[in-house]
Amino acid sequence: MAARPLSRMLWRLLRSSARSCSSGAPVTQPCPGESARAASEELSRRRQFLREHAAPFSAFLTDSFGRQHSYLRISLTEKCNLRCQYCMPEEGVPLTPKANLLTTEEILTLARLFVKEGVDKIRLTGGEPLIRPDVVDIVAQLQRLEGLRTIGVTTNGVNLARLLPQLQKAGLSAINISLDTLVPAKFEFIVRRKGFHKVMEGIHKAIELGYNPVKVRPYPCRDGLKDPGALSALIQKLPLPSPNPNTGNKWNFKKMVSYKEMLDTVRQQWPELEKLPEEESSTAKAFKIPGFQGQISFITSMSQHFCGTCNRLRITADGNLKVCLFGNSEVSLRDHLRAGASEQELLRIIGAAVGRKKRQHAGMFSISQMKNRPMILIGG
């Protein structure tokens, strides 16, 4: 992909050109004597030039259905300081020996390779990523990668208030916080630990530091979330994922809450709920309640899957590449790295895995019978 650095140089040049004209005035605000139409036509010509000279997206990250995978999720650890019922079995899970987990340098090596091939968004997951001692340094190192536009984290929020100022300075640009209820006692029941007030402190710290949106993600199982509206009024944006009714990756259909049922529940309380346009490759169906600062989104991975626009890949804490969250196919990048594989050899291995990605996942009934890692070991 030798042409890609050229395309990035062109992008920076054109983006800079689009921001101002010779007098320093924005192109969208015409310079003295220049019509708005002329400025618009000039911007269109620049964009056309960019399209014609941009490098093609990496063939290694494009599957047989034409899906381009520009979003990489990296699990930093299998450990967690909570024991959420839908994520980890009550008895816990056998953890991978430390020697078999990716080192910091291996994480950065893989991240660098994926970004070079076109990944422009990386999300750090776990386990709980914020319990990893060098998480701030990892974010700082990722921030230096040319072409990486977004560095996000999915966290339970317990350590967020303490670490967020350092993470923001290092380059963290997006935050997802897991929170299933606003009732402290219910919180302790769901996660089997204390910590509700620390999570709330983390949410407020994120808003205070200017993150927008701050995404709070509950799992609406039957014995979990009861008041989705309270969360939507509290924070900037609330993705309500369509059901994840599992217990350590064992599906419990009695706990399942469908997208339609959740939508009907919200509409009963706010009949004026408005559907918002969906962004390309978005997993969320977004809605706006007039007068509310934030919005509500439903992630319908089971009841209405979005496999056709999936652009996500995952690397587990022990270095396995998963091309589908709900698939059980994996390939060890760690083993090839440690065996001295070259960059081109790694790309061929990655390309082969991406090329085997199926059109869609098997569906909830088949998935319930499929052997797969617990979510805590996937970084889902």
The pLDDT of residue 37: 67
Compute the distance between CA of residue 273 and CA of residue 268 in angstroms, rounded to an integer.
Answer: 10
Among 256, 242, 357, residue whose Cα is nearest residue 311: 357
Compute the distance between CA of residue 146 and CA of residue 75 in angstroms, rounded to an integer.
Answer: 21
326-379 confidence digits (pLDDT tens): 667 889 999 999 999 999 999 999 999 999 988 875 444 444 445 555 555 555
pLDDT by residue for the chain (380 residues), tens only, comes to: 444 444 444 344 334 443 433 333 333 444 444 555 666 666 666 556 555 655 678 999 998 989 999 999 999 999 999 888 777 777 777 889 999 999 999 999 999 999 999 999 999 999 999 999 999 999 999 999 999 999 999 999 999 999 999 999 999 999 999 888 888 998 898 889 999 999 999 998 998 999 988 888 776 655 544 455 455 545 334 443 333 433 334 455 556 667 777 778 778 878 888 888 877 656 667 777 777 777 777 766 555 445 768 899 999 999 999 998 766 788 999 999 999 999 999 999 999 999 998 887 544 444 444 555 555 555 55
294-303 confidence digits (pLDDT tens): 777 776 655 5
Compute the distance between CA of residue 330 and CA of residue 9 in angstroms, rounded to an integer.
Answer: 35
Q: What are phi and psi of 284, to 5 degrees?
A: -110, 140
Are the CB atoms for 330 and 315 separated by under 8 Å? no
Compute the distance between CA of residue 315 and CA of residue 297 in angstroms, rounded to an integer.
Answer: 26
Compute the distance between CA of residue 130 and CA of residue 60 in angstroms, rounded to an integer.
Answer: 31
Compute the distance between CA of residue 353 and CA of residue 328 in angstroms, rounded to an integer.
Answer: 12
CA-CA-CA-CA dihedral for 301, 306, 312, 314, to nearest 10? 30
Are the CB atoms for 315 and 74 separated by under 8 Å? yes
Amino acid identity, position 292:
F
DSSP-derived secondary structure for 284-323: EEEEE-TT-SSEEEEE-TTTT--GGG--EEEE-TTSEEES
